[in-house]
Amino acid sequence: MKTSVAIIGAGPAGLLLAHLLASQGIDVVVVERRSRAHCESRVRAGVLEQGTVDTLTAAGVGERMRAEGHVHHGIELRFGGEGHRIAFDELVPGRAITVYGQQEVVKDLVAANLAAGVDLRFEVEDVAIGGLDTDPWLAFGGERLDCDFIAGCDGFHGISREAVAPHLAVFEKTYPFAWLGILADVAPSAPELVYAASERGFSLHSMRSDTVSRFYLQVPPETAPEDWSEDAIWAELKARHETVPGFTLATGPITAVDVAAMRSFVAEPMRFGRLLLAGDAAHIVPPTGAKGLNLAVADVRVLARALGEHYRTGADGLLDAYSATCLKRVWRAQHFSWWMTTLLHRFDGADAYDRRLQRSHLEFTARSKAQATALAENYVGLPYED
């Protein structure tokens, strides 16, 4: 078999790249080890930056997102018994976030790719890669797929980065806590996301729809989902969120509980020979800044333009600059995610000085227009360079 670009991974990065390349007439094959049903039901990120929304819309896959997604023009920082709104509509006019689940983005992209005749192969096992210097190939199911390029969009635990690990520089940080993620069939108790900092630890109130809410609790890193009963989860969420007058957290049936590790990770460069890494395969951020999915989309925008130039004109300037171009945005997002994480979480072992310093930083962010603007412009997503 032969194709132009072989894409490993049918998450948002791989599917969007396939769609953008196919729309330019570039032949692609996507391989994914999980089932289509799994990919379309896996609940992950749900906050889309303005640039992500614009990209999906321009790619022709934004109709359902615009109809069903929730546009938010601010977030709330809650601490010290008060709520402080960071007003995107005032600080960064014309830019907002849209709450629309990753699984819904995947559904839209799968449908668009199938409608365009893109070769999507789910439940593909034992994928191997080789020839990355000059003649790349994938092997799976007793078949071999020769290609011009391989796009590694297979996430943090995929085979793509591992295949070139000796050639990469790795930068990483592990945080001394995790997030307990809770999905519940209950209407949101607030119109926008609430980031709550307290002596009990951090908590986030988010939503997926008018009837489904998503919550996160800061927990010890060794926590397992079964460590928390439903009653204990609601009691702790109430203790961390019902800290301002008049606010009551609505409760309902909990449908899913998971634990997410908190880490920062970057592998450089994002290209080795004919292998190009994108999304979580190259970098991870703690979810506090809501940047993971959005960084994947930013990578794919750059990569699709670079490969388009290669096949259209034979020029490789954009391909040669791919890693450096993406990493500028990646490191900005790394800093913002680290900043949000250290601003809002309780660190065991922090002394009285550190705790007072953290509170001072929170208060300054809430009252300083300049600081709030910096938070807002990073949160909604910095404009793309193109």
- Write down the domain spans for the chain: 5-72+96-172+264-347
The closest alpha carbon to 265, from 195, 341, 171, belongs to 171
Residue 222 burial (10 A CB sphere; 0-12, 13-18, 19+): exposed
Rounding to the nearest 10 degrees, give the CA dihedral for residues 16, 99, 254, 250: 180
353 tagged catalytic: no
| φ and ψ at residue 255, rounded to 5 degrees | -105, -20
Catalytic (active site) residue 72: yes
pLDDT value of position 45 = 74
Q: Is 287 a catalytic residue?
A: yes
Does the annotation mark 379 as catalytic?
Answer: yes
Q: Which of 19, 107, 287, 322 is catalytic?
A: 287
State the distance between the two ends of the chain, measured CA to CA, in whole angstroms: 35
Helix/strand number for the chain, H first, E second: 13, 20
Catalytic residue among 195, 286, 322, 345: 195
Q: Which fold has domain 5-72+96-172+264-347?
A: FAD/NAD(P)-binding domain (3.50.50)
Q: Evaluate the omega torsion of the peptide bond into residue 245 and state whether it is cis, within 30 degrees of 0.
A: no
* Ranges of residues in the chain whose predicted pLDDT is under 70: none
pLDDT per residue over 232-284, tens digit each? 999 999 999 999 999 999 999 999 999 999 999 999 999 999 999 999 999 99
Q: Which of 73, 241, 291, 310 is catalytic?
A: 291
Annotated active-site residue in 72, 107, 283, 310: 72
Q: 195 catalytic, yes or no?
A: yes
Q: Which of 100, 216, 322, 379 is catalytic?
A: 379
Q: Identify the pLDDT of residue 321.
A: 98
